[in-house]
A and B are shown apart, each in its own frame.
Chain A
Amino acid sequence: MADIPLLELKGITKRFPGVIANDHVDFELVKGEVHALLGENGAGKSTLMNILYGLYHPDEGEVRLDGKRVRIDSPRAAIDLGIGMVHQHFMLIPVMTVAENIVLGVEPHSGPFLNIDAAEKRVRDLSERFGLAVRPEALIESISVGMQQRVEILKALYRGAEILILDEPTAVLTPQEAEELFEIIRSLQAEGKSIVFITHKLGEVLAIADRVTVLRRGKTIETVPREGATEEGLARLMVGREVLLRVDKTPAQPGDPLLTVEDLRVFDERHLEAVRGVSLEVRAGEIVGIAGVDGNGQSELVEAITGLRRPESGRVVAVGEDITNEGARDSLEAGVGHIPEDRQRRGLVLDFTLAENIALKDYCEEPDSKWGWLYPKRLVARAKRLLTEFDVRGGGPQTLAASLSGGNQQKVVVAREVSRDPRILVAAQPTRGLDVGAIEFVHRRLVAERDEGRAILLVSFELDEILSLSDRILVMYEGRVVGEYSPDVSEEELGIAMTGGGREVAA
Chain B
Amino acid sequence: MSVAEASQTPLDRLRRLGEARSLAIIGIWLGVLAVWLSVPPFTIRALVVPAAAAVLGASLGLWALTRGERKLGWWAIGVALLAILVALWFQSEESAELESVFSIGLLAATFRFAAPLAFAAMGGIFSERSGVVNIGLEGMMLAGAFFGIVVVAETGQWELGLLGAMAAGAVLALIHAFFSIHLRADQIISGFAINFLALGVTGYLFRSIYGTRGTPELEERIPNVHLPLIEDIPFFGDLFGNLNLMIWLMFAVVLTSFIVLFKTPIGLRIRSVGEHPKAADTVGISVFKVRYAAVILSGVLAALGGAYLSFGTGNAFNENMTAGRGFIALAAVIFGNWRPFGAFGACLLFGFSSALALRLQGSPLLPSDLASANLLSTLPYVLTLVVLVGVIGRSRGPAAAGRPYVKQ
Binding site for B on A (CB under 8 A): 50, 53, 55-56, 74-76, 79, 85, 87, 91-96, 100-101, 104-107, 109, 112-114, 155, 159, 270-273, 276
A91-B276, A96-B275, A273-B10 given as contacts; is B267 within 8 A of A114 (CB)? yes
Most buried by B among A91, A104, A273, A276: A104
**B264 contacts A85, C-beta separation under 8 Å:** no
Most buried by A among B13, B281, B282: B282
Residues of B contacting A55 in the complex (Cβ-Cβ under 8 angstroms):
281-282, 408
**Binary flags per residue of B260-290, CB closer than 8 Å to A gives 1, else 0:** 0001110111011001101111111100000
B6 within 8 A of A: yes
* A100, A155, A159, A271: the one within 8 Å of B17 (CB): A271
**A53 contacts B282, C-beta separation under 8 Å:** yes
In Å, the complex CA distance between A75 and B277 comes to 13
Residues of A contacting B399 in the complex (Cβ-Cβ under 8 angstroms):
94-95
Residues of B contacting A155 in the complex (Cβ-Cβ under 8 angstroms):
283
A55-B408, A93-B279 given as contacts; is B264 within 8 A of A105 (CB)? no
In Å, the complex CA distance between A286 and B10 comes to 35
In Å, the complex CA distance between A48 and B279 comes to 19
**A114 contacts B284, C-beta separation under 8 Å:** no
**B10 contacts A74, C-beta separation under 8 Å:** no
Residues of B contacting A96 in the complex (Cβ-Cβ under 8 angstroms):
268, 271-272, 275
**A92 contacts B268, C-beta separation under 8 Å:** no
A74-B284, A91-B279, A272-B10 given as contacts; is B263 within 8 A of A104 (CB)? no
A96-B271, A107-B268 given as contacts; is B283 within 8 A of A270 (CB)? no
**Interface residues of A, dominant DSSP:** loop
A56-B408, A114-B265 given as contacts; is B10 within 8 A of A85 (CB)? no
In Å, the complex CA distance between A75 and B271 comes to 19
B14 within 8 A of A: yes
**B14 contacts A76, C-beta separation under 8 Å:** no
| 30 A–B contacts from the bound complex (CB under 8 Å) | A56-B408, A74-B284, A75-B281, A75-B282, A75-B284, A76-B284, A85-B282, A94-B275, A94-B276, A94-B399, A95-B399, A96-B271, A96-B272, A96-B275, A104-B269, A104-B283, A105-B280, A105-B283, A107-B268, A113-B259, A113-B263, A113-B264, A114-B263, A114-B264, A114-B268, A155-B283, A271-B13, A271-B68, A272-B10, A273-B6
A95-B275, A271-B13 given as contacts; is B264 within 8 A of A109 (CB)? yes
Q: Which residue of A has the minimal Cβ distance to B1?
A: A312
In Å, the complex CA distance between A478 and B192 comes to 52
Binding site for A on B (CB under 8 A): 6, 10, 13-14, 17, 68, 259, 263-265, 267-269, 271-272, 275-276, 278-285, 396, 399, 408
**B6 contacts A105, C-beta separation under 8 Å:** no
In Å, the complex CA distance between A159 and B283 comes to 9
In Å, the complex CA distance between A104 and B281 comes to 11
In Å, the complex CA distance between A76 and B407 comes to 14
**B17 contacts A91, C-beta separation under 8 Å:** no
Q: Which residue of A has the minimal Cβ distance to B276?
A: A93
**Interface residues of B, dominant DSSP:** helix
**Beyond known contacts A53-B282, A107-B265, A271-B17: 15 more, CB 8 A cutoff:** A50-B408, A55-B281, A75-B281, A75-B284, A79-B284, A87-B282, A91-B279, A93-B279, A95-B396, A96-B268, A96-B271, A100-B268, A104-B283, A105-B280, A271-B68
In Å, the complex CA distance between A454 and B188 comes to 48
Residues of B contacting A100 in the complex (Cβ-Cβ under 8 angstroms):
268
Q: Which residue of A has the minimal Cβ distance to B275?
A: A93
Residues of B contacting A101 in the complex (Cβ-Cβ under 8 angstroms):
279
In Å, the complex CA distance between A291 and B280 comes to 37
Closest 10 CB pairs of A and B: A76-B284, A107-B265, A105-B283, A91-B279, A272-B10, A93-B275, A93-B276, A91-B282, A75-B282, A114-B265
**B13 contacts A272, C-beta separation under 8 Å:** yes
In Å, the complex CA distance between A41 and B399 comes to 30
In Å, the complex CA distance between A159 and B271 comes to 20
Residues of A contacting B17 in the complex (Cβ-Cβ under 8 angstroms):
271
Q: Which residue of A has the minimal Cβ distance to B279?
A: A91
Residues of A contacting B276 in the complex (Cβ-Cβ under 8 angstroms):
91-94
Residues of A contacting B267 in the complex (Cβ-Cβ under 8 angstroms):
114
In Å, the complex CA distance between A100 and B264 comes to 11
In Å, the complex CA distance between A276 and B7 comes to 10
Residues of B contacting A92 in the complex (Cβ-Cβ under 8 angstroms):
276, 279
CB distance from B146 to the nearest CB of A (A): 34
In Å, the complex CA distance between A276 and B13 comes to 15
Residues of A contacting B10 in the complex (Cβ-Cβ under 8 angstroms):
270, 272-273
CB distance from B202 to the nearest CB of A (A): 36
**A104 contacts B280, C-beta separation under 8 Å:** yes
CB distance from A287 to the nearest CB of B (A): 31
Residues of A contacting B269 in the complex (Cβ-Cβ under 8 angstroms):
104-105
In Å, the complex CA distance between A272 and B12 comes to 10
**B13 contacts A104, C-beta separation under 8 Å:** no
In Å, the complex CA distance between A270 and B408 comes to 37
Residues of B contacting A93 in the complex (Cβ-Cβ under 8 angstroms):
271-272, 275-276, 279
**A112 contacts B6, C-beta separation under 8 Å:** no
Most buried by B among A79, A93, A270, A273: A93
Residues of B contacting A271 in the complex (Cβ-Cβ under 8 angstroms):
13, 17, 68
**A109 contacts B265, C-beta separation under 8 Å:** yes
CB distance from B306 to the nearest CB of A (A): 29
A109-B264, A114-B265 given as contacts; is B6 within 8 A of A276 (CB)? yes
Q: Which residue of A has the minimal Cβ distance to B274?
A: A93
Residues of A contacting B259 in the complex (Cβ-Cβ under 8 angstroms):
113
CB distance from B46 to the nearest CB of A (A): 43
In Å, the complex CA distance between A215 and B65 comes to 61
A112-B264, A113-B264, A276-B6 given as contacts; is B283 within 8 A of A75 (CB)? yes
In Å, the complex CA distance between A94 and B398 comes to 11
In Å, the complex CA distance between A105 and B289 comes to 13
Q: Which residue of A has the minimal Cβ distance to B408?
A: A56
Residues of A contacting B6 in the complex (Cβ-Cβ under 8 angstroms):
273, 276
**B283 contacts A79, C-beta separation under 8 Å:** yes
**B275 contacts A105, C-beta separation under 8 Å:** no
CB distance from B68 to the nearest CB of A (A): 8
Most buried by B among A85, A107, A114: A114
Residues of B contacting A114 in the complex (Cβ-Cβ under 8 angstroms):
263-265, 267-268
CB distance from B318 to the nearest CB of A (A): 40
Q: Which residue of A has the minimal Cβ distance to B9?
A: A272
CB distance from B20 to the nearest CB of A (A): 12
Q: Which residue of B has the minimal Cβ distance to A77?
A: B284
In Å, the complex CA distance between A88 and B263 comes to 31
In Å, the complex CA distance between A271 and B276 comes to 27
CB distance from A271 to the nearest CB of B (A): 7
CB distance from B343 to the nearest CB of A (A): 18
Residues of B contacting A272 in the complex (Cβ-Cβ under 8 angstroms):
10, 13-14
Q: Which residue of B has the minimal Cβ distance to A79?
A: B284
* B263, B285, B396, B408: the one within 8 Å of A105 (CB): B285
In Å, the complex CA distance between A36 and B408 comes to 26
Residues of A contacting B280 in the complex (Cβ-Cβ under 8 angstroms):
104-105
CB distance from A163 to the nearest CB of B (A): 15
Q: Which residue of B has the minimal Cβ distance to A78?
A: B284
**A105 contacts B284, C-beta separation under 8 Å:** yes
In Å, the complex CA distance between A134 and B321 comes to 54
Q: Which residue of A has the minimal Cβ distance to B407?
A: A55
Residues of A contacting B263 in the complex (Cβ-Cβ under 8 angstroms):
113-114
Residues of B contacting A87 in the complex (Cβ-Cβ under 8 angstroms):
282
